[in-house]
Structure 1
Amino acid sequence: MLQPARRKYRKEQKGRNTGVATRGNTVAFGDFGLKSVDRGRLTARQIESARRAISRHVKRGGRIWIRVFPDKPISHKPAEVRMGNGKGNPEYYVAEIQPGKVIYEIVGVSEELAREAFRLAAAKLPLRTTFVARMIGQ
C-alpha cells in the first residue's frame, strides 16, 4: 500500500477540502483517465483495491498510472478511551481529492477495455467518477 516513507511531522490537522483541481486535471501520461466528479478522500486501501481491479481486467496489456498519493495521516484514538489525553496515533493515510482530479490513467488498451476497467475500479471508490480521453494535440 502507498504511504509516505518519511514525514517531518507524524500528525496533521483535519483541514478543509475546498475548491476544484487546477493541477492534475488533464490526462497527461496515458490515453484514457478516470476523473473525479465529487470531492472526498481516498484511502491507500481504496487506491490499491481499484488499481488491482484495473490490472486484473486489462491483464498483460496496457500501462497504468496512479495520479494521486495518500500523504495525509488520519489519526484515531483507541476504542473505549476517555476524551482528552492528546490526539490519537496515525492509523492510515488518505489522498484528498477535489472535483476534476484525474485519479488513474491507462495506455496501450482499446477504449472499450479501458472503459470497462475504469467502471470496475469506480465501483471500489467512494466518489463519483467519469471516463476521460486525452485531448488531441496534448
Structure 2
Amino acid sequence: MLLQPKKFKFKKLQKGRFKKKEFAVTSLKFGRFGIKSLEYGYITAAQLESTRIAINRIIKRSGKIWLRIFPNKPITKKPAEVRMGKGKGSVDHWVSSIGAGRIVFEISGIKPTLARSALLYACSKLPIKTCLIGF
C-alpha cells in the first residue's frame, strides 16, 4: 500500500516553491544511522515504499526503521491527447517535497556494516543525491 494522506483539506494544490535548504529535520533523532539528502527535489510515495522494502530485505527485519518524510503533496496530471483548458487534471500521485540536508530514513538495532550496506542499497532507489550519516 502506497503512502497517502487519509484526509486532506483541498484535493488539488498549487505547485509552490522548493525549500533549497532544510533547517528542521537535519540531525538523527530516533536511529543510529541514516540517509540524508544533499539536494532538493520530490520523492514519490512509490520511491519511498521501494526504498523501505530494500532496507527490510537486507536487514531481514532485525532492526527498526523510521521514515522521516511523508508524501502529502498531490501531483495532478491530465490524460494523454486531451485538449487545452477544461480545468486541472485529476490527482496522479503523491510526493514529498524535501530540501537539502533533510533526514529521509533512520535505522537502529543492527551492526554498522549491515546498516551501511542496507543504506547504500536504499540510496540507489532515491532520485536525489544522498549521503549516509552516523558512521
* Amino acid aligned to 2:48: I
Gaps of 5+ in 1: none
Which residue in 2 is equivalent to 1:119? 120
4+ residue segments displaced more than 6 Å: none
Per-residue deviation, 1:9: 0.4
Which residue in 1 is equivalent to 2:52? 51
Aligned to 1:75, the other structure's residue is in SS state: strand
Per-residue deviation, 1:94: 0.2
Which residue in 2 is equivalent to 1:19? 20
Identity across the alignment (%): 46
- TM-score (norm: length of structure 1): 0.94
Which residue in 1 is equivalent to 2:133? 132
- TM-score (norm: length of structure 2): 0.96
Post-superposition CA distance 1:13-64 (Å, at most 9, x none): 0111033111111100000110000111000000000000000000031000
* Amino acid aligned to 1:84: G
What value does the CA root-mean-square deviation take over the aligned residues? Answer: 1.0
Per-residue deviation, 1:112: 1.1
Gaps of 5+ in 2: none
Moved more, 18-27 or 96-105: 18-27
Retained in 1: the 8 A contact 2:22–2:100?
yes
Which residue in 2 is equivalent to 1:82? 83
Aligned counterparts of 2:112 and 2:54: Cα–Cα separation in 1: 17
Aligned counterparts of 2:27 and 2:120: Cα–Cα separation in 1: 19
Aligned counterparts of 1:86 and 1:61: Cα–Cα separation in 2: 49
* Amino acid aligned to 1:83: M
* Amino acid aligned to 1:34: I
